[in-house]
Structure 1
Amino acid sequence: MTSTTYRIGGDREVRRLGFGAMHLSTEPGPDRDASLAVARRAVELGVTLIDTAHLYGEGANEELLAEALHPYPDGLLLTTKIGVARTGPGGDWKYDGRPTVLREQVEQALRRLRVERIELLQLHRIDPETPLAEQLGTLRELRTEGKIGRIGLSEVTVAELDLARQIVDIASVQNRYNLLDREHEPVLTACAEAGIAFLPWRTVAWGDSGKHAEVAAVAAELDATPTQVALAWLLGRSPVVLPIPGTSKIAHLEENLAAERLVLSPAHRSRLDRLTAPTG
């Protein structure tokens, strides 16, 4: 039986199937109202891991989640990401891991999320222009100060993960990964060996899973949707995998969470495993 929970950092238990908030509209009006309803419904349905980022609306996504869910129910973990800022030419977005920028984005996230501590903070991207030791050293200092609880990374290679772990404990990695895109298979393997939570994003290949004949066939045989098959495959891939599918519609949210109950037989899993060979 596949476990439905995981302890991030070895101590913070969450439901493995989470929710990515990136697609929630933050503009005033009906779309925002719908976004608030989706976030609240996710929690009603037992989601305990919600992913956001400074990049999503320059903090507007964080504010939306706070409006929808604060005061937060016990057990809910909101994870956010920092390290991308409008500090490029002309105010363009760029990777920016300078200590002053990271500290300011953490302070902003604390205010927007209305919390005193961010239980899981992830570096959205490694800034190639700032020494990694400075970036992670700043996060380690913020953890010592009690402003963050656990430190994660996003879009890293195995070599970058190894280097980061020499500087600070890493609780999670958030890389692009799904049934039809396994470029980061080696990173998942490294996380599994180290007991690091692996949060795949783009979990259902932008909804294209159903266009693959074999995925559609398995879905038909199980009376499920291709999206549910893709998520069930992820949940069965490794106990450290914590998918965070995102949507702006309650119907899709409910469809996604129902994937937790979908059982793939060894034969079905074998057919899906063969769709694309892991790279490494």
Structure 2
Amino acid sequence: MTSKTPDAAAAGTWKLGDLTVNRVGFGAMRLTQNGPAFGKDRGPHDRDRAIAVLRRAVELGVNHIDTAAFYFSPLRSANELISRALGPYTDDLVITTKVGPGRGPGGDWLDWARPEQLRGQVEENIRQLGRDHLDVVNLRVNGPAPISEQFGALADLRKEGLIRHLGLSNVWPEQIAEARAIAPIVCVQNRYGIGERRADSQDILRTCGELGIAFVPFYAIAGGGREGGADVTAEHEALLAVARAHDASPAQVRLAWTLQQGPHVLAIPGTGNPAHLEANVAAGALRLTEDETRRLAALGQNAG
């Protein structure tokens, strides 16, 4: 790929309700993690670097940031980093957050919030981000159980003005229908990518497009590596061949392939590495051929 300064607008835009975002956004989860992206230094430099990455993302045209109050480590909180780096916020910056799961003060996971607990989670995100409301709140779902009570509680908070738009994360088709019967949804976040597609993924992708709902994959780059990141030593030869043909990295090809699944598909790759950030944003300008897209899709036909 060319070395010109990447622009998040290169992949086009989509609307989350009445909020227009560039299709290449930024996921904040990895900013709170120690590991190769930050090197071995676990001190204040890590925080400074995370803040610099967020500011650089906005400079590159990113105006959609995905976060959650439960994205934190003993050293860092994603929401606090966003507030410190980007506040006071510009009018065009859209921050999407998630509720449902939570974490205690010691980092212990709480898998699912009761309806009455969701207000506290929403208010905590508002406090940490330094805002008077949240642009988009996704209900993160664990399992195929009915979600009407939880989503109904968020719909009430939307009516109060604490939330502007609602979305869903990690859901099944019937849960999308269940939620839409209660209140409008503007986005669905599900695991999706080359080799990382559930059996119902294409149906959900298509349904979202027909309804004008953004489909926002997570782990589009990491694939099976999930929070640990992609295993670059185990990439399929077909993917490597496409990357060589475009003078791009496998990660960039994964992002480009995902974005080419439809104009309503958004990307939220996350990183704490400035160079990786620029490469991720640049992937929005990468255009794969129809043949390349089909060959790469075949790598995930047997994904669970």
TM-score surpassing 0.5? Answer: yes
Q: Which secondary structure state, in structure 2, belongs to the residue aligned with residue 207 of structure 1? A: coil
Matched, 1:105 2:113: no
Q: Distance in 2 between matches of 1:70 and 1:255?
A: 25
Higher relative contact order (CA 8 A, sep 6+): 2
What CA deviation, in whole Å up to 9, does each residue of 1:34-85 have, x standing for no partner? 1111111100100011000122118921111101110112211111111112
Contact 2:100 2:141 in 1 (8 A): yes
Where in structure 2 are there 5+ consecutive unaligned residues? 1-9, 34-41, 224-228
Q: What does residue 97 of structure 2 align with?
A: 80
Change (3 A) 1:24 1:269: same
**Contact persistence 2:24–2:266 (CA under 8 A):** yes
2:284 maps to 260
State the distance in 2 between where 1:80 and 1:34 align. 22
Q: Does residue 1:207 correspond to 2:230, yes or no?
A: yes
1:249 is aligned to 2:269:
no
Three-state SS of the structure 1 residue aligned to 2:230 is: helix
1:18 alignment counterpart: 25
Q: Percent identity?
A: 45
Contact 1:83 1:127 in 2 (8 A): no
Instruction: Tell me which residue corresponds to 1:114.
Output: 130
TM norm structure 1? 0.91
Pairs aligned (count): 275
2:297 is aligned to 273
Contact 1:172 1:197 in 2 (8 A): yes
**Which blocks of at least 5 consecutive residues in structure 1 are unaligned?**
none
The CA distance in 2 between the partners of 1:15 and 1:203, in whole Å, is 17
Separation in structure 1 between the aligned mates of residue 102 and residue 65 of structure 2, nearest angstrom: 21
Task: Report if aligned partners of 1:53, 1:80 keep a CA contact under 8 Å in 2.
Answer: yes
The amino acid across from 1:260 in the alignment is G
For residues 197-228 of structure 1, what are the alpha-carbon distances to aligned partners after superposition, in whole Å with 9 as ceiling and x for unaligned? Answer: 11101011232467111010011011111111
Matching of residue 34 in structure 1 with residue 49 in structure 2: yes
- Deviation (angstroms), 1:20: 0.4
Which residue does 1:138 correspond to in 2? 153
Query: Which deviates more, 26-35 or 104-113?
Result: 26-35
Instruction: Confirm whether residue 47 of structure 1 aligns to residue 54 of structure 2.
Output: no
Please give the root-mean-square deviation of Cα atoms over the aligned residues, in Å.
Answer: 2.3
What's 1:167 paired with? 182
Query: Counterparts in 2 of 1:144-163, with a 5 A limit?
Result: 144-163=159-178
Per-residue deviation, 1:113: 0.5
Is the CA contact (8 Å cut-off) linking 1:181 and 1:276 kept in structure 2?
A: yes
